[in-house]
Amino acid sequence: MNPFPHQACAAAGWLRFRGRGCVWLLGLGLLAGGGDSPLRAGEEPDPRIAAFDAANRLYEQGRYREAAAAYEALLAQGIVSPALYFNLGNAWFKAGAAGRAIGNYRLAERLAPRDPDIRANLRLTRELVRGQPPPAAPWWRRGSQRLTLDEWAGVTGGAVWLGFGALVWGELRPARRRLCRRWAAGSAALAMVAGAALAVQWAERRLRVEAVVIAREAVVRYGPLEVSPELQKVEDGTELVVLDQKDHWLQVTGLPRGTGWIRQTDVWVLPP
């Protein structure tokens, strides 16, 4: 039995909501400490669950900005889950803030990279902002994002221990030494692939700083000054890569016209 409500899964415009999807997300555990078992008789309900329930009701009533504020209050308490980011992204989208919606969908995707509802809503919001489907990411980036950092670390560690175990078993059972060496070689290959994917994703998260435009329209300039010539204008939801920072300006790339500077208050820098 899932104790968490799922009112925010109600169909909303063209956003994709699968009947199972949001419930499954909530089942991953709303609270940082986990624990999605039903309340026992006589137990007091967790106030954080009640707060999540209240935020979902605001969303259902069409009070999207209030719902977003309620979800963000839960995040401020240190609660992290794909369900929370997913619902927050939905609330911001319905409130007309595509940039904040994309940012929260991306944070949800980090925690549940294979969830179809998160991926669908992120893709469709990007299409709405761009006016066309976004270009496909390089194959190595798509491959590394199929699992979370923890999952890649688990696969890498498991393959290493499996390889060592096969070698030890081969020494203990000489008749099976050749087979064990094959297992060890396969485990080593798996560890190398998983380790490479882990390194790529870690570098992407730690070394690549990304931002999303959250202003209705922001001006990108040639220099970090208000008097600098205008390079181009960007709309809410435009995704950028941050190269440098100076005072209250960020040097960004990923623009059709090259690299420029944008006011820091016009974008949301995604946390590493």
Q: Select the more confidently predicted residue: 7 or 268.
A: 268
What is the tens place of the pLDDT at every residue in 231-248? Answer: 999 999 999 999 999 999
Q: Count helices and strands (H / E) in the chain.
A: 9, 7
Q: 45: pLDDT confidence band, cut at 50, 70 and 90?
A: low
Query: What is this structure's pTM?
Result: 0.78
**Helix axes of 116-130 and 98-111: crossing angle, nearest 10 degrees:** 150
Residues near 100 by beta carbon (within 8 Å), at least 6 away in sequence: 68, 89, 92, 212, 214, 268
What is the tens place of the pLDDT at every residue in 179-214? Answer: 999 999 999 999 999 999 999 888 887 888 999 999
**Helix axes of 47-60 and 82-94: crossing angle, nearest 10 degrees:** 30
Q: 25: pLDDT confidence band, cut at 50, 70 and 90?
A: very low
Contact status, residue 224 vs residue 263, Cβ threshold 8 Å: no
Q: What is the CA radius of gyration of the chain?
A: 23
- Least confident interval from 59-68, 170-179, 210-219, 258-267: 170-179
Which DSSP symbol is given to 67? H
Q: What pLDDT, on the 0 to 100 scale, is given for residue 110?
A: 92
Residues near 26 by beta carbon (within 8 Å), at least 6 away in sequence: 2, 4, 6, 36, 81, 83
Q: What pLDDT, on the 0 to 100 scale, is given for residue 75?
A: 93
Report the pLDDT averaged over residues 220-231: 96
DSSP code per residue over 169-232 = HHHH-GGGHHHHHHHHHHHHHHHHHHHHHHHHHHHHHHH-EEEEE-SSEEEEESSSSTTSPEEE
Q: What pLDDT, on the 0 to 100 scale, is given for residue 131?
A: 84
Q: What is the residue-averaged pLDDT of the chain?
A: 83
Query: Is 70 exceeded by the pLDDT of residue 47?
Result: yes
What is the tens place of the pLDDT at every residue in 57-80? Answer: 999 999 999 999 999 999 999 888
Beta bridge partners of 269: 211
- Measured distance CA(1)–CA(15) in Å, rounded: 27
Query: Is 50 exceeded by the pLDDT of residue 7?
Result: no
For the chain, the residue count is 272
Q: Kindly state the tokens that stand for 12.
A: 């909303």
What is the tens place of the pLDDT at every residue in 138-156? Answer: 888 888 888 988 999 999 9
Query: Is 50 exceeded by the pLDDT of residue 20?
Result: no
